[in-house]
Amino acid sequence: RKEVEQDPGPFNVPEGATVAFNCTYSNSASQSFFWYRQDCRKEPKLLMSVYSSGNEDGRFTAQLNRASQYISLLIRDSKLSDSATYLCVVNIYGNYQLIWGAGTKLIIKP
Amino acid sequence: SQTIHQWPATLVQPVGSPLSLECTVEGTSNPNLYWYRQAAGRGLQLLFYSVGIGQISSEVPQNLSASRPQDRQFILSSKKLLLSDSGFYLCAWTYRGEAFFGQGTRLTVV
């Protein structure tokens, strides 16, 4: 089983719709969680951190479920510019490494 | 503010030729530094990480090596490139679990 798993997609979503991704992690010692966005042929960039209490940034909402060991990302009122690959990242306590999911590809269609 | 520089942005090299990719970080000291590779349509593969000068941990034994001659300098090298070394190489540093990436080097071995 992979340490961090994501549905690779692609998710084809009409503009204005709401879309949600999940990411599951296997190590219960995971401490920090992040969502990154990667545009085609570009480096990943931080979208948002995921806190235990959940967090919201405009149209984006991230949630953490420690009991079921997954994090989620919800995008409301999707825009064409939201088309990208969304990477889930987990940091395990005391470990220098970040564990990356393979990413979920999102395509927003007009 | 911290910035990370990586060069070159693109590189086409013949099989059997050497490789040297350089990454430097500004605005921080003693960063954790990472080299990743991303094959087309795939997730990030950790190649090397370093927690200090001269300290290199290799995650995937292969045709590549890394060095950290200075605190904020991280170099990825190969003596003889293989076709399978083609990919998108990313340098990163982390702070409190969050990763910051260089622009990446797209390497094509021909």
E strands, chain A, are 4-6, 11-14, 19-25, 30-38, 45-50, 55-57, 60-65, 70-75, 84-92, 98-100, 104-109
Q: Which of B4, B6, B101 best tests the A interface by mutation, with the highest count of A CBs <10 A?
A: B101
CA distance A100 to chain B (A): 7
Confidence at residue B40, expressed as pLDDT on a 0 to 100 scale: 80
CB–CB contact A98 B94 (8 Å): yes
CB–CB contact A91 B101 (8 Å): no
Rg of chain A's alpha carbons, rounded to an integer? 13
- Tens-digit pLDDT profile for residues B26-63: 988 889 999 999 988 788 999 999 999 999 998 876 78
Cα separation of B34 and B49, whole Å? 4
CB–CB contact A41 B97 (8 Å): no
The pLDDT profile of chain A, 110 residues, written as one tens digit per residue, is 678 999 999 999 999 999 999 999 998 888 889 999 999 989 999 999 998 888 999 999 999 999 999 999 999 999 999 999 999 999 887 777 888 999 999 999 99
Query: Would you say B62 and A5 are in contact if contact means Cβ atoms under 8 Å apart?
Result: no
3-state secondary structure of B83: helix
Confidence at residue A98, expressed as pLDDT on a 0 to 100 scale: 87
Closest-CA residue to A104 (of A89, A90, A87): A87
Nearest to B101 among A41, A43, A103 (CB): A43
pLDDT band at B1 (very low <50, low <70, confident <90, very high): confident
DSSP line for B3-33:
EEEEE-SEEEE-TT--EEEEEEEES-SS-EE
CA distance A24 to chain B (A): 15
Rg of chain B's alpha carbons, rounded to an integer? 13
In which residue are the tokens 């990743």 written?
B36
End-to-end Cα, chain A, rounded Å: 37
Nearest to A102 among B42, B101, B102 (CB): B42
CB–CB contact B43 A103 (8 Å): yes
Nearest CA in chain A to B95: A96
Closest-CA residue to B76 (of B4, B30, B18): B18
Closest-CA residue to B99 (of B38, B51, B48, B32): B32
